[in-house]
Chain A
Amino acid sequence: QKEVEQDPGPLSVPEGAIVSLNCTYSNSAFQYFMWYRQYSRKGPELLMYTYSSGNKEDGRFTAQVDKSSKYISLFIRDSQPSDSATYLCAMCRDNYGQNFVFGPGTRLSVLP
């Protein structure tokens, strides 16, 4: 079993829909959680970064962390075709920034 599980999709939604992307993890030592967006042939782009349970909002994006359930989510409101990309969750075990572990990514398509 991988440390971080993520539904690879593909996930297709109509423009304007609310998108929910999720990751589960098995290692309770993970403390820091990130979401990255990766367009084809580009590097992962940091979207959200959080270390506590609860919600963090940034524009149309909301990151949610539930450490008790070992479950994190990224919500995208009013989705746009430009949101079509692969979304990777990432998490970090320790305080020294090493050992970032990535989920396999979910491919999202927002249809106009």
Chain B
Amino acid sequence: AAGVIQSPRHLIKEKRETATLKCYPIPRHDTVYWYQQGPGQDPQFLISFYEKMQSDKGSIPDRFSAQQFSDYHSELNMSSLELGDSALYFCASSFGQGVSPLHFGNGTRLTVT
């Protein structure tokens, strides 16, 4: 079965650079979530979109922005990168506005040097 696709798998950036992470949800899933996971930590919710509109916002820094496009894929844009932004970034998708379990991609590992 098709899963959530994230690209790139690995990304190395320098401080103050920008990065763009992409997420392609499971077909027919209309809700996308972004999470940040530090080493040994549980995933921390950043932001979510339902039907191309922002539906919820968590601990996402102002330096980050995201959007969901007409084909339901989503991009997380990160600017003025800091060393502390180094983490695994996961995208998850689900179907519908009602409760539906999240299905995660394998993440993008961002390293800021």
A contact set with B: CB distance below 8 Å: 31-32, 34, 36, 41-46, 49, 51, 88, 90, 92, 94-100, 102-105
Q: Cβ of B107 and Cβ of A95 under 8 Å apart? A: no
Stretch in contact with the other chain, from B11-19, B40-48, B60-68, B73-81: B40-48
Could you say which of B42, B99, B103, B104 contacts A96, with CB atoms under 8 Å apart?
A: B99
Please give the distance in Å from B111's CB to the nearest CB on chain A: 13
Chain B residues in the interface with A (C-beta under 8 A): 4, 31, 33, 41-43, 45, 48, 55-56, 88, 90, 92, 94, 96-107, 109
Nearest opposing residue in chain A for B97, CB measure: A96
Would A103 and B98 be within 8 Å (CB), given that A43-B105, A43-B106, A98-B48 are in contact? no
Tell me the minimal C-beta distance from B92 to chain A in angstroms. Answer: 8
The complex places the Cα of A42 from the Cα of B103 at a distance, in Å, of 12
- Asked if B104 and A32 make an inter-chain contact with CB atoms under 8 angstroms apart, the answer reads no
B90-A97 in contact (CB<8A): no
> Which of B42, B56, B90, B106 makes the CB contact (< 8 A) with A103?
B42
Query: A44 near B43 (CB under 8 angstroms)?
Result: yes
B98/A43 in contact, CB under 8 A = no
6 further A-B contacts with Cβ under 8 Å, apart from A90-B102, A92-B99, are A31-B99, A43-B104, A46-B102, A46-B103, A51-B99, A97-B94
